[in-house]
Structure 1
Amino acid sequence: MVWRSVRHRGRSGMTQVGAQVLLVEDDEGDALLVRECLREVGYGEADVAWRRSVAEGIEALTLDPDCVLLDLGLPDAHGLEALTRFVAQQVTTPVIVLTGRHDRTGVEAVAAGAQDYLVKDDITPELLDRTIKYAVQRRMAQLTEFQLREERMLAAENSRLERGLLPKPLLLSDFVACRSHYRPGRAGAVLGGDFFDVVETTDGRVRAIIGDVMGHGPDEAALGVHLRVAWRAMVLAGVPAEQILTALSRLLFAESGGGVFTTACDLTIERDRSVTTRVAGHPPPLLCAGTTASFLDVEVGPPLGIEDLHPGERAEEDWPVSRAVLPDSSAVVLYTDGLLDAYRQPESRTSVGLEELAEVAADALSTGDSIETLLPVALPRDSMKEADDTALVVLSLAGSAA
C-alpha cells in the first residue's frame, strides 16, 4: 500500500497531513456528517471521494485510496456482504466499517476483514481521525509482517534448493579421502559461483575439478551448477579428459552469451599416484607432503568462455597437461581465489596470497598437525573476506589422515 500524504490547511491555519479517504455511504446526511468531521481535522474536499454503492466503491478503488469508510447498509449489499465484496478484491487498503447499531455487527466485521469499526452516533472529528490513522498504520504493519514472512519462506526454499545443488563427492573406495569447505560471498546464500566436484571412476582413477565463475550473484551460481553437472556427466560417460575443458568452455559461452569467464583446475589421480592437471587460468594446486607444503608445477591455459567457441577454433592443447607423482600419504589441496583473499597483503603490489597460504600450511604441518587439520587452519575467520565465494577441497591419498 502506498501512503499518499497530501498537505493542506485546517481551520487553525497549521499545515496538516491527511490520508486519501474513500467514503462509501448512500445516506446523504450520514455522508455529510462524516465529510464535515474530516474537514474539521484538516481533510480537504479533494481528499475525500464519496460513492453511494458497493459497485461504485469497488470501482473507485482505482483511485488508490489510503482508507475506506464503508457503510454496511447500502442499496446493492446488506450487512457484511458489502465488506465481503471489498475484501474479495484483495486490496491492501484498510477498511473501516460504519454501523448504526451498538451490537456485535462491528466485532463481526473486524473478524471478517475490517481494520476497525465506528458507530455513527459516536463519531467525532478526533475519533474519526485517530481511527483512520490507526487503521492505516495497523494495515501497513500487517503488510510488512506478511512480506517479511514471505521473504523468509522464499529464503528458506532457496536455501533448500541450493543445498540440493551442492556436490556430493562420488568415491567408490578409500584410495582417496575428500574433505571440503564451501562459502558463498552473497549474504544469506548457500551457493555461489564457485564450484567443485570429485568422482572416482570404475577404473579406479579419481577425477576432481574446482572452478570459479566470474561474479558472485545467483546467475553466476547457476552457471557454476551447469558447469559442475556437465563435468560430472562427461566424466561418468567416459569422455576423454583432454576434451572436457573444451566442452565446458563452449557450454559456458552458450549459457552466458559471452562476456563471462571461468577459471578451473581439472585433476586426475591415478592408482600409481601419478597426477595429471589441466589448468584454465586458475591458481595451482597445493601439495602437502610430510612437513612441507608447495605448489604443483603446472602450465596454465586461458580461462573458459573468454571468446566465442565454434567447433575447431579451440584445440585441446590450449589447456596443456602437467604431470607429477604424488608422495605416499600426501594430499592435494584445490581452492578458489576467495581463499587467497585471506592472505593477500594489500600493501604489497606483488602479493596474491599464494606464498602466504603455503607458509600457513607448512607451519601447521611442521608442528605435527595432520592434514586433517588443514581445513580449519587454512580458513582464518577473522581475516577472510566474505566479498568473494570460497571453495576448498582436500584430497588425501591412502595413508593420510582425512
Structure 2
Amino acid sequence: MPVPVPRQREIPTTESGQAVLPQASLTLLVIEDDPAGGLTVPEILDADRHRIRLRTARNLTEASRLLTPDVHCILLDLALPRGGAGSRTAGGAATDTDPDTADQLDTLRQVLRIAPRHAVLVLTAEADAERAAEAVRVGAQDFLFRDELDGRVLSRAIRYAVERKRADIAQYKLAESKLRAQENARLERGLLPTPLLEGSDLRFAARYRPGRSRALLGGDFYDTVRTPDGTVHAMIGDVCGHGPDEAALGVELRIAWRALTLAGLCGDDLLATLQEVLEVERPCEEIFATLCTVDISPDGRRAGLCLAGHPAPLVSRPGRPARLLPYENSGPALGLLPKARWPRRQVELGGTWSLMLYTDGLIEGRVGDGKERLGQDGMVEMINRHLERGLSGEALLEASVTEARRLNGGELTDDVAVVLLSRSTP
C-alpha cells in the first residue's frame, strides 16, 4: 500500500543545483518501498512555518546513502519487507518476503543501529496497534497510523519526535557525565589518597589537574605515609600514556608502594619490587613509569632521595632561593631496564624547609606562542617569585599551576600532580 507522505512544493535551487532552504528547516527521510510514492498533501510546515524537506528511500541501502547529518527525523514504514531490501509490485504484493509473516521490527532495529542519534517515527496500519507500541519499546519515538495521516499530524509528530530525541540524547549525556564523575571519584581515591601523617609535624598540600584532552584522571599518582619509626615517606609517579589502563596501573603502583613502605622496604629494594609489579601488571611491554621517592628522618632534618627517571624535587629554605635537589646518578624509569638499580642519595634539609614533588606536566607546558617549554629552570624561577610574595602551602601550589596554565596559553596538555611537604621549627 502506498504511504501517504505529504508532497512538498518544488524547492528553489541555486545555479549549482543546491536546494535553498530556510535557516531552521527540518529534513525528513522516508523509508518506504512504493516506487510511485503516494505523496498527496501539498506541503508540511514546522512550528515556525518552515517547509520540511523530504527524502525518500525504498530500502536500507538507499537510506544509508541519504542519511546525511542534516537529516533530523526518519519515517519508517513497518510494512517494509524484512531488511528493507525487497519491493512491492503495483498491486501491493511483496516480491521477496511477505511482511505479514516477517519480523517487521527487524528493519526498525537496523534503522536504529545505523541512525542512533536520529529521531525515528514508524508508520503502520491501525490494525497493527500492538506492533506499533512494540516499535516504541524497541526505540522509535512514536508511531503513526497510515489511515489517519495528514500534513498537520505528520508535522506535529516530526516536531515532537525531534524534541523527544534531543531530550533523550541530553539525558544520556547527563547519565554519561554522572558515570564519568563516579569513575573519576573512584580513580581519585586510588591515585590521590589521604596522606597517613598522624603524629608528624610535617604539613601536607597537593594539587592535581587533568590535561585538557581528558575529563578523567590520567596516570599521575602520589602518596605519603608515616611508618612506626617516625620516618615520613613520600612519592610521586607518572605512568606513560593516558587512559583507563594507565590510570589503573597507577593505582596499582601507588597501593603497592604504600604496602611495601609500611612493610619496611625503602630505596632501591622498594623500587626493584615496584618494577616487578609493573612488569606483571602493565598491558604491554612499552608501558613504563617514572617515580620519585623521599624518606624524611624522624627528626625532619634529613631525607633520602631516589629518582627513577623522574624530575628532581624542589627544596626551599628561609632566606635562600628554592633549588632543585641533586639528580645526578639517578636510575632509569621503572619498566625500561631489567635488574636496574636506583641509588639512594642523602640530603640535608635543616630545620625549616619546604619540599615540592611534581610530575613533568608542570614543566612541559609552553611559554607563549613558540616552542619553548617552561622547563625546570623556568619552574624554579616561577616558584621563587611566589615565595617572595609570601605564598606557601595550598596557595603556593594553586598559584604555580595557574601561572603554568597562563604561560601555556590555556590548559596544559599533560596531567599535573604536585605535592608539597613543609616543616617549621620554633
- Give the TM-score range, shorter chain: 0.7 to 0.9
Partner deviation per Cα, 1:35-75 (whole Å, 9 max, x = no partner) = 6346987776836563675975335435638531133334x
Which of 188, 191, 194 is equivalent to 1:168? 194
Distance 1:10 1:237 in 2: 79
Q: 1:383 aligns with which of 399, 404, 407?
A: 407
2:375 aligned residue (338, 353, 365):
353
What does the per-residue CA deviation read over 1:315-349, in whole Å, with 9 as the maximum and x for residues that have no partner? 5xx21111111110112111111121357688687
Distance 1:94 1:370 in 2: 57
Instruction: Kindly indicate whether residue 381 of structure 2 is the aligned counterpart of residue 327 of structure 1.
Output: no
Kindly provide the CA deviation profile for residues 218-271 of structure 1, in whole angstroms up to 9, marking residues without a partner as x: 332222111111101111122343211112222222222211222111110112
- Cα-to-partner distance string for 1:349-392 (whole Å, 9 max, x where unaligned): 7x662222222333443455556643234331422552111111
Give the fraction of aligned pairs with identical amino acids, expressed as a percent. 31
State whether structure 2 residue 293 is matched by structure 1 residue 266.
Answer: yes
Instruction: Give, as a single letter, the amino acid of the residue that structure 2 aligns with 1:283.
Output: P
> What are the superposed Cα offsets for residues 102-159 of structure 1, whole Å, 9 maximum, x if unpaired?
xxxxxxxxxxxxxxxx873xx44x3465356435524532442232233222223223
- 1:228/1:131 Cα in 2 relative to 1: closer, same or farther (>3 Å)? same
Q: 1:393 to 1:59 in 2, by over 3 A?
A: closer
Equivalent residue, structure 2, for 1:61: 108
Question: Partner of 2:38: helix, strand, or coil?
Answer: helix
For residues 136 and 407 of structure 2, the distance between their equivalents in structure 1, rounded to whole angstroms, comes to: 54
- TM normalised by structure 1 equals 0.73
Aligned residues: CA RMSD: 3.6
TM-score between the two structures when normalised by the length of structure 2: 0.69
Distance (whole Å) between structure 2 residues aligned to residue 323 and residue 22 of structure 1: 80
2:316 matches 1:288: yes
* Contact 2:78/2:105, CA 8 A, preserved across alignment: no
Q: Say which of 334, 356, 359 aligns to 1:304.
A: 334
CA distance in 1, matches of 2:57, 2:354: 80
Structure 1 contact 291–362 (Cα < 8 Å) conserved: no
Distance change in 2, residues 1:38/1:275 (3 Å):
farther
Structure 2 distance, partners of 1:53, 1:348, is 68
Q: 1:228 to 1:13 in 2, by over 3 A?
A: closer
* Counterparts of 1:281 and 1:363, CA distance in 2: 27
Find the counterpart in structure 1 of residue 29 from structure 2.
Answer: 19
The aligned counterpart of 1:101 is none
For 1:248 and 1:64, locate their aligned partners in 2 and report how far apart those are by CA, in whole Å: 51
Who is 2:179 aligned against?
A: 154
Answer whether contact 1:38 1:129 (CA < 8 A) is retained: no
- Aligned residue pairs, count: 346
Structure 2: gaps spanning 5 or more residues: 1-6, 14-18, 20-26, 44-53, 60-76, 81-98, 113-119
Q: Work out whether residues 317 and 354 of structure 2, in 8 Å CA contact, stay in contact via their aligned partners in 1.
A: yes
Deviation at 1:84? 3.4
2:254 is the counterpart of 1:228? yes
Name 2:264's counterpart in structure 1.
238
Alignment partner of 1:395: what SS? strand
Q: Is the 8 A contact 1:207 1:267 kept in 2?
A: yes
1:50 is matched with which residue?
Answer: 79
CA gap of 1:84–1:296, structure 2 versus 1, over 3 A, is same
**8 Å CA contact retained: 1:184, 1:389:** yes
Q: How does 1:48-197 map onto structure 2 within 5 Å?
A: 50=79, 56-61=103-108, 64=111, 66-74=120-128, 81-88=130-137, 90=138, 92-98=139-145, 120=148, 123-124=149-150, 126-127=151-152, 130-131=155-156, 133-134=158-159, 136-165=161-190, 166-187=192-213, 189-197=215-223
* Structure 1 residues not aligned, in runs of 5+: 1-8, 24-30, 75-79, 99-117
Quick check: 1:21–1:67 contact (8 Å CA) kept in 2?
no
Deviation of the 1:397 alpha carbon? 2.0
Contact kept, 8 Å, 2:239 with 2:246, in 1: the verdict is yes
Distance of 1:369 and 1:14 partners within structure 2: 67
Counterpart amino acid of residue 67 in structure 1: L
Letter in 1 for 2:315: L
Shift of 1:393: 1.0
Aligned to 1:109: none
Checking the alignment, whether the CA contact within 8 Å between 1:96 and 1:135 is kept in structure 2 is: no
How far apart are residue 95 of structure 1 and its match? 3.1
Instruction: Specify the alignment match of 1:374 in structure 2.
Output: 396
Report if the CA contact (8 A) 2:312-2:324 is conserved: yes
